[in-house]
Amino acid sequence: MRIAWQDAGWEGLTARVGRCRLPVWDCTSGLVAGDEGALLVDAGATPAQGGRLRAAAARLLGGGRRVTHLALTHPHFDHVLGAPAFAGAQFHGPAGAGVLLAADTEGLRADAVRHGVAVQDAADAAGALGRLARDTAHAPDAPDAPDAVRRTADPSRPTATAPARPRPPDTRTGARAPGSAPAPAPASPWHPVTDRQALDLGGGVRALLLNVGPGHTAHDLAVLVPGGDGEPDVVFCGDLVEESGEPQAGPDAVPGRWPGALDRLLALGGPEALYVPGHGAVVDAGFVRRQRDQLALRFGVS
Ligand SMILES: [Zn+2]
């Protein structure tokens, strides 16, 4: 498979990994193309950006293929409000982000409008994303669920690569005819990443999703795509790293733990990886190290 990144206006980072910088808010979106599956990293700021990303990814992948997995690095509007355009894909986010997106639809909508997203677009997208996240956030066995609703931890909970566990027969109503197969549980599209989640996209292309936060927010996810055949590893950093300006520390940032998150990023990618910031040009490990030290100074931590 040869992907014509440049022809499509994308930046090719390796043969199978590319990214684009979206207009207006300059948010990065990345695409990792396997032989069988494709992962998009962050979905843009509006339903229109999400729709254009979906179409662009389909053109890049070719052959009627589409995005099968969407990773959201953190719950900020410019990274997530395009996500409803990817209905049918598996969604991955740092643990806790789903609860937040489900519970604070209004906060996400208001933040987007404050930054210039059209009122109706923000309301529609925040509502759709909240409903999508709510299904899993309130499920009894979801790692993403708050303690108040998580009654039991279930180590056999399905993952993105495992088939859904059949639902046990409903013995309360007796509605199911004896001998008939139990109805399968609806496969949830939302997969919280508590520690790490590996995705095998086929053709030797793998991606590792890692919960490296908190830092820029309380919930920060990074994506490592190991290189091969002399190609570099690629690390999608979300907004833990910014190149186009000083890293944005809003009211939901956890400044004291941000440098530690960058230490984990550097340990992940090592000295030779390409580091893709949430905003701005691709950087190297030296840049991330310097930004880590500047943040430690700025926030008064070591
Ligand atoms: Zn952000």
Give the model confidence (pLDDT) of 78-133 as tens digits.
999 999 999 999 999 999 999 899 999 999 999 999 999 999 999 999 999 998 88
Q: Kindly give the distance from the C-alpha atom of residue 203 to the centroid of ligand 1, in angstroms, as a whole number.
A: 32
Q: Kindly give the distance from the C-alpha atom of residue 245 to the centroid of ligand 1, in angstroms, as a whole number.
A: 12
Give the model confidence (pLDDT) of 173-221 as tens digits.
434 455 566 666 556 789 999 999 999 999 999 999 999 999 999 999 9
Is 286 within a domain?
yes
Q: Kindly give the distance from the C-alpha atom of residue 178 to the centroid of ligand 1, in angstroms, as a whole number.
A: 52
Give the model confidence (pLDDT) of 31-46 as tens digits.
999 999 999 999 999 9
Please say whether the beta carbons of 19 and 13 come within 8 A.
Answer: yes
Q: Kindly give the distance from the C-alpha atom of residue 28 to the centroid of ligand 1, in angstroms, as a whole number.
A: 11
Q: Kindly give the distance from the C-alpha atom of residue 173 to the centroid of ligand 1, in angstroms, as a whole number.
A: 47
Q: Which position has the higher pLDDT, 153 or 132? A: 132
Statement: residue 232 has pLDDT above 80? yes
What pLDDT score was predicted for residue 149? Answer: 34
Which among 161, 139, 194, 186 has a CA at the least distance from the CA of 68?
Answer: 161
Q: Kindly give the distance from the C-alpha atom of residue 100 to the centroid of ligand 1, in angstroms, as a whole number.
A: 14
Q: Kindly give the distance from the C-alpha atom of residue 36 to the centroid of ligand 1, in angstroms, as a whole number.
A: 30
What length is written for the chain? Answer: 302
Is 177 within a domain?
no
Quote the distance between the C-alpha of residue 36 and its chain's center: 19
Statement: residue 145 has pLDDT above 60? no
Q: Kindly give the distance from the C-alpha atom of residue 243 to the centroid of ligand 1, in angstroms, as a whole number.
A: 13
Q: Which residues of 27-60 are buried (b: 16+ CB within 10 A; e: fewer)?
A: bbbbbbbbeebbbbbbbbbbbbbbebbbebbeeb
Statement: residue 154 has pLDDT above 60? no
Question: What CATH number has the domain bearing residue 240?
Answer: 3.60.15.10
Is 174 within a domain?
no
Q: Kindly give the distance from the C-alpha atom of residue 157 to the centroid of ligand 1, in angstroms, as a whole number.
A: 30
Count of C-beta atoms within a 10 Å radius of residue 12: 16
Long-range contacts of 55-64, Cβ-Cβ distance < 8 Å, separation of 24 or more: 56/8, 56/10, 56/20, 57/31, 59/8, 60/3, 60/4, 60/5, 60/8, 60/10, 60/18, 60/31, 60/33, 61/3, 61/33, 62/1
Q: Kindly give the distance from the C-alpha atom of residue 298 to the centroid of ligand 1, in angstroms, as a whole number.
A: 18
Please say whether the beta carbons of 67 and 38 come within 8 A.
Answer: yes
Domain containing 200: what range?
Answer: 6-161+191-299
Q: Kindly give the distance from the C-alpha atom of residue 216 to the centroid of ligand 1, in angstroms, as a whole number.
A: 7
What pLDDT score was predicted for residue 172? Answer: 40
- Mean pLDDT of all residues in 49-56: 97
Is 288 within a domain?
yes
Is 86 within a domain?
yes
Is 182 within a domain?
no
Is 52 within a domain?
yes
Is 1 within a domain?
no
Structural domains counted in the chain: 1
Please say whether the beta carbons of 77 and 117 come within 8 A.
Answer: yes
| Rounded-to-integer distance, Cα 186 and Cα 68, Å | 17
Statement: residue 167 has pLDDT above 50? no
Q: Kindly give the distance from the C-alpha atom of residue 110 to the centroid of ligand 1, in angstroms, as a whole number.
A: 15
Q: Which two tokens stand for residue 164?
A: 């859904």
Q: Kindly give the distance from the C-alpha atom of residue 170 to the centroid of ligand 1, in angstroms, as a whole number.
A: 44
Statement: residue 150 has pLDDT above 80? no
Q: Kindly give the distance from the C-alpha atom of residue 10 to the centroid of ligand 1, in angstroms, as a whole number.
A: 22
Q: Kindly give the distance from the C-alpha atom of residue 48 to the centroid of ligand 1, in angstroms, as a whole number.
A: 19
Q: Kindly give the distance from the C-alpha atom of residue 76 to the centroid of ligand 1, in angstroms, as a whole number.
A: 5
